[in-house]
């Protein structure tokens, strides 16, 4: 077994109909650009009724059809927010917990120790979080149930240097399941990072299960200048929205 194997992200996604929500962070092969991606999937009408919208400091989720919204508590949030310490990417409202903590001198881990997995038993969906520093290095975390009843929370934290061509992929579920969807197990997966924003975005979007995919966000940030370009793809529009900022 090669523990340092670098997997093809597209192949991982094509072989998994329901990884749930996923975060990918890494650096392009030339070592010059930080890469961050986040996608959401869904099985229920409520979950699938969403789009990503751009915000000044990142993105937010919003109901595509407000009339079909049932419960916004776990599906409406800001997945991506920029902070002084780096770019925060999460699968829930813990984005704000991390940002507020950092602004008040509370560390990444201590901020997340105030949170736990989502209250959606029996799945107890894990909270996955990440932050990418300005030098391209990044941290990832998963908070998940310690038992089937959701009586305890296991918290895992990972830290990675900026390595050209390498990224890590963390997602909420191992695979689809019924009646319980199994939570992600083990360390974030080592994956290859592409050098071209549009190609990488297209490969991710095309590799996600067509029935369950909802939205995708990808950002490429120049490590020297801080200038970034990003793409947002929503199933309800099926087109990539380009954006570039300094």
Report the residue count for the chain: 246
For 201, the 3-state DSSP assignment is helix
For 24, the 3-state DSSP assignment is strand
The predicted structure's pLDDT at residue 183: 98
Find tokens 């109909």 and name the residue.
17
**CB contact at 8 A, 238 and 220:** no
Token readout for 215 is 């939205």
Token readout for 66 is 């407000």
Q: Residue 63: beta bridge partners?
A: 50
Split at pLDDT 50, 70, 90, the class of 240 is low
**CB contact at 8 A, 63 and 69:** yes
pLDDT at 246 over 70: no
Compute how many other C-beta atoms are within 10 angstroms of the C-beta atom of residue 107.
Answer: 12
- Largest Cα separation within the chain, whole Å, is 51
pTM of the model: 0.96
User: What does the pLDDT look like over 24-79, one tens digit per residue?
Assistant: 999 999 999 999 999 999 998 989 999 999 999 999 999 999 988 888 888 899 99
User: What does the pLDDT look like over 182-210, one tens digit per residue?
Assistant: 999 999 999 999 999 999 999 999 999 99
Sign for the CA dihedral angle at 110, 88, 63, 42 comes to negative
Q: What is the mean pLDDT of residues 154-181?
A: 97
Could you give the C-alpha distances from 150 to 67, 71, 154, 178, in angstroms and in order? 32, 21, 10, 18
């Amino acid at each position: 077994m090669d523990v340092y194997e670098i997997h093809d992200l597209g192949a991982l996604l094509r072989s998994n109909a329901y990884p749930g929500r996923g975060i990918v962070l890494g650096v392009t092969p030339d070592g010059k650009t930080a890469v961050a991606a986040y996608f959401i999937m869904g099985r229920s009408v409520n979950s699938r009724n969403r789009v990503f919208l751009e915000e000044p400091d990142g993105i937010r989720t919003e109901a595509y059809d407000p009339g079909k919204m049932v419960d916004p508590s776990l599906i409406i949030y800001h997945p991506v927010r920029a902070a002084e310490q780096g770019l925060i990417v999460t699968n829930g409202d813990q984005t704000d917990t991390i940002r507020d903590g950092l602004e008040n001198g509370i560390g990444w881990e201590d901020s997340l120790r105030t949170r736990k997995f989502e209250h959606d038993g029996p799945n107890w969906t894990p909270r996955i979080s990440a932050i990418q520093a300005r030098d391209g290095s990044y941290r990832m975390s998963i908070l998940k149930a310690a038992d089937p009843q959701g009586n305890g929370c296991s918290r895992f934290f990972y830290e990675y240097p900026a390595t050209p061509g390498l990224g890590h992929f963390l997602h909420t579920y191992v695979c689809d399941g019924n009646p319980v969807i199994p939570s992600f197990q083990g360390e974030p997966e080592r994956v290859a990072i592409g050098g071209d924003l549009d190609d990488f975005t297209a490969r991710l979007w095309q590799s996600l299960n067509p029935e369950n995919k909802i939205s995708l966000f990808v950002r490429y940030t120049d490590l020297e200048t801080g200038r970034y370009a990003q793409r947002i793809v929503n199933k309800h529009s099926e087109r990539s929205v380009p954006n570039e900022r300094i």
